[in-house]
Structure 1
Amino acid sequence: MFGTSGVRGPIGAEITADLTLSLGRALASEGADLVVVGRDARTSGEMLEHAFIAGAAECGADVIRIGTNSTPTIARSAEWLGADAAAAITASHNPPTDNGVKLWTSSGRAFGRDRRERIERRVREEEYEFAAWDGIGSIRERDTYERHREELRTSVDIDAPLSVVVGVGNGTGRLTADALADLGCEVSTLNGQRDGRFPSRPSEPTAEAIRPLRTHVEAVGADLGIAHDGDADRMVAVDGDGRVVAGDTLLSVFAREAATDGDRIAVPVNTSLAVDDAVAEVGADVVRTRVGDTFVAERCAEPGVVFGGEPSGAWIWSGETPCPDGPLAACKLVELVSRRGPLADLADEIDGYPLRRGSVSTDHKRRVLDRVEAPLRAEYEGIDDRDGLRVETDNGWFLVRASGTQPLVRVTAEARTDAEADGLFEEAMAMVEERADPAPAPDRT
């Protein structure tokens, strides 16, 4: 039921009001007495929000409803409001046809595996602890948007305000524009009106999807551009020339700035070796995790891990918040550019390697991975299988893994030259594509 980032899928087919009601019941039955509930801008969000609240209250939990907000606002509100947990009704960067639920602890960290499994077991077995008629939970409303806005204002110090374009993409990332304006920046937005159909561009801020932002930044001479996904837990950056800064490069820039001698940085297994090189310059080390911000967040809770990030755009500053916070990342980046110079120059300081990423669509992703494993093990030794199959070669590495949130098998390859990276990527992609045809038996994964 739970993927790497909560429960997520198409409305009506996988995500229903009945399922969401059950998740609310299960959370309260697991002992959450006070729960914060919010949602992103998706058109199905209000329906699911009501269902979740009803389930939680039905099993005795008091609920604080904070309405439409970014996911980091919802997650951080658990601590601000003294709640036992928070629930975000969101499908993050998925298309508008999808929705889901992501659960957060009292500190604002995503639920770990044990808690997710307990929730899933209660839903599967319909094991709920219903409250008596006079023990049903209360429901009240609070606004934490301004609290998050104030936290952002005090998290950075911008001496030389910049010109910034924020590509909201009809999601919940307007918070970034407001906070940067408070800090004195000249801010303009693209598609700042909330619309859960995401009519201006796809929710996921890929380089192609945010092409209008890139064009606008260059045309108006802005210092940089910021793009968020639908729930603003991700942040992607555009330099003053309208070029998207590669995720691994931005991760290197952030990590090198956050770390000092002896510190550690948490990154997933599909991250470029450029990050290792960047943090080594300041005497820090990299620790690798499974792919998914929940796994990065878990490592960020360990002593000495000062920062964690994913090339997809999730950034965690361990000393400030345990969840990915796109608006915070945007403010941190603007602060860095105001002190150190143009984003393009900061990116050019990172020595990168040729990196290739792609994916193959399939409704049988776990079975495809099983089919790929045997020929890989027959050809290569020392395969890292903590998350998918990572293969080290003399020239580089490649990773084949099932997406935790979408019906995809993802392929990543990196090497020291373009030709070597292309060769590894093409080898891995061909192996996956050959085995991606649906099998006649039903997929039970």
Structure 2
Amino acid sequence: MFGTSGIRGPVGTEVTAALALRVGRALGVDTDRVVVGRDPRESGETLQAALTAGLRESGTDVVDLDVAATPTVGRAVAWEDADAGIAVTASHNPPEDNGIKLWQPSGQAFDTALREEITERIESETTALANWDKFGKHQRVDHQPSHRAALLDAVTLDQPVSVILDVGNGTGGVTAEALDELGCHVETLNAQPDGSFPGRPSEPTSKNCESLSELVGASDADLGIAHDGDADRMRAVTADGEFLSGDVLLALFGREAASEGEAVAVPVDTSLAVEDHFAAGGIETRRTPVGDVYVAEAASETGVAFGGEPSGAWIWPSETLCPDGPLAACRIAAMAAERPLAARAAEVETYPIERNSVEVSQKAAVMNAVSELVAERFESVSALDGVRVDLEGGWFLLRASGTQSLIRMTAEARTEARTTEIAELAMELLAKARES
């Protein structure tokens, strides 16, 4: 039921108001106060209402943020002294999807044990419904000003910069407000919240953000910034219009956040270039399963200064364990004010990397077959998340997506020829596993 990013899928089939009601009742078993917010998808209003009903009839008070960025929801759990938070969002998924993601007071998403506990309650129909006169209260609160204030407390700019911000028709408006108050000149694209995402697809990829890259490159802007629908992700464009890869951004953020002797948490599909860049500064790389919940768990450990995913989720544990796209936007603006992003990126030596995805109907069965094939042929195998095989001069990873019916392949080596060779090997193994 719960993937690494909570419940997520098509509305009306996998994600329904009936399911939302059951989640609310399950969470209401042992909570007194819960924060709830949603991204701008039209279906979110109904899902949020069902969640709220399940919580309130369990005697749980609800703090309703209405439409709000997911990191605002994650942070507001602590601000409201609440027991948990719920973000109704499908994040970067297409508009026909929606989802439910649960948050702890630390700002960290529900971990595996907590997700399993909620799932068990839902499946066993465990509830703690209150008497008619003990229903929970409902309170509407706007925490966007609180989030903006937190960003201003966390970031200072040596000098203002010019920023073009692509909000992606999502909930990242707090970024524009914070950057403006920091003294930046801000122009926006796709700034009107609209859950059909008419301006561009919600996921801030290089292809989806071509308009942003072209506009930044043709203007005098110092950088471009892009969010997804719920603003937990952030990607960046240099002054000359180059859309920075997630691995390069991770290398830049981690090197800026961590000091010699400290560590940075990254998922298993992160480029070797990131590890090499950290090693040059005496910074340890700690690999985790893919998913911001796992990166957050590692980032909460002593000595870990930062955690991030190449997909665009960035975590500063001293601030919050929730991926905070607006915070990342303010920090990258501060870095650009101090030194151009293109100059910083040029210092990260990159290697050829190939990523591919294959749609499958039975993820678990295919991955079991992959594991058996890999065990027969290779010695250096990691099962931290999916199957990662380290080879001479490179590596490949095959893992099931936590949110979609896909098997994802990543292959990398320090030369293009070797990368192609390893990628072809990995895809051959995947094809053979699908046939078995």
TM bucket by the smaller chain? over 0.9
Per-residue Cα deviation, 1:246-293 (whole angstroms, up to 9, x for no partner): 111110011111111211110111111222222222222111100000
Classify the secondary structure of the residue corresponding to 1:220: coil
Q: CA deviation at 1:34?
A: 0.2
Q: What is residue 2 of structure 2 aligned with on the other side?
A: 2
Q: Distance in 2 between matches of 1:318 and 1:49?
A: 28
> What TM-score comes out, normalization by structure 2 length?
0.98
Q: CA deviation at 1:432?
A: 2.0
Map 1:127-206 onto structure 2 (within 5 A): 127-206=126-205
Q: What is residue 67 of structure 2 aligned with on the other side?
A: 68
Classify the secondary structure of the residue corresponding to 1:375: helix
**Number of corresponding residues:** 436
Q: CA deviation at 1:160?
A: 1.3
Q: What is residue 361 of structure 1 aligned with on the other side?
A: 359
278-287 vs 1-10, greater mean Cα deviation: 278-287
Q: What is residue 282 of structure 2 aligned with on the other side?
A: 283
The one-letter amino acid of 1:122's match is: R
Q: Distance in 2 between matches of 1:406 and 1:204?
A: 14
Q: What is residue 98 of structure 1 aligned with on the other side?
A: 97
Q: What is residue 413 of structure 1 aligned with on the other side?
A: 411
Q: What is residue 21 of structure 1 aligned with on the other side?
A: 21
Q: CA deviation at 1:357?
A: 1.1
Q: Distance in 1 between matches of 2:422 and 2:312?
A: 25
Q: Distance in 2 between matches of 1:207 and 1:409?
A: 21
Q: What is residue 79 of structure 1 aligned with on the other side?
A: 78
1:360–1:433 Cα contact (<8 Å) kept: no
Classify the secondary structure of the residue corresponding to 2:395: strand
Q: CA deviation at 1:434?
A: 4.7
1:360–1:436 Cα contact (<8 Å) kept: no
Map 1:30-429 onto structure 2 (within 5 A): 31-339=30-338, 341-429=339-427
Unaligned runs of 5+ in 2: none
1:36–1:83 Cα contact (<8 Å) kept: yes
Q: Distance in 2 between matches of 1:60 and 1:157?
A: 42
Per-residue Cα deviation, 1:153-205 (whole angstroms, up to 9, x for no partner): 12111121111111111111111111111111110011100100011111111
The one-letter amino acid of 1:405's match is: T
2:430 equivalent to 1:432: yes
Q: CA deviation at 1:114?
A: 1.1
2:373–2:433 Cα contact (<8 Å) kept: no
Per-residue Cα deviation, 1:357-402 (whole angstroms, up to 9, x for no partner): 1111122222221222222222111310111000010121000000
The one-letter amino acid of 1:14's match is: E
Per-residue Cα deviation, 1:22-44 (whole angstroms, up to 9, x for no partner): 00100010x11000000001110
Q: CA deviation at 1:416?
A: 0.9
307-316 vs 359-368, greater mean Cα deviation: 359-368
Q: Distance in 2 between matches of 1:10 and 1:283?
A: 45
Classify the secondary structure of the residue corresponding to 2:382: coil
Per-residue Cα deviation, 1:209-260 (whole angstroms, up to 9, x for no partner): 1111111111222111101111000001111121111111110011111111
Q: Distance in 2 between matches of 1:350 and 1:219?
A: 25
Q: CA deviation at 1:131?
A: 0.6
Per-residue Cα deviation, 1:85-112 (whole angstroms, up to 9, x for no partner): 1100001111111111100012211111
The one-letter amino acid of 2:401's match is: S
RMSD across aligned positions (CA): 1.2
Q: CA deviation at 1:435?
A: 4.2
The one-letter amino acid of 1:194's match is: P
Q: Distance in 1 between matches of 2:406 and 2:238?
A: 30
Q: Distance in 2 between matches of 1:99 and 1:163?
A: 34
C-alpha spacing 1:54/1:414, structure 2 compared with 1 (3 Å): same
Classify the secondary structure of the residue corresponding to 2:133: coil
The one-letter amino acid of 1:293's match is: D
Q: Distance in 1 between matches of 2:11 and 2:67?
A: 18
> What TM-score comes out, normalization by structure 1 length?
0.96
Q: Distance in 1 between matches of 2:136 and 2:358?
A: 45
Q: Distance in 2 between matches of 1:436 and 1:217?
A: 43
1:397–1:415 Cα contact (<8 Å) kept: yes
1:226–1:238 Cα contact (<8 Å) kept: yes
Percent of residue pairs bearing the same amino acid type: 52
Q: Distance in 1 between matches of 2:432 and 2:195?
A: 37
Q: Distance in 2 between matches of 1:202 and 1:35?
A: 31
Q: Distance in 2 between matches of 1:384 and 1:304?
A: 24
Classify the secondary structure of the residue corresponding to 1:412: strand
Q: Distance in 2 between matches of 1:305 and 1:375?
A: 35
Unaligned runs of 5+ in 1: 440-445
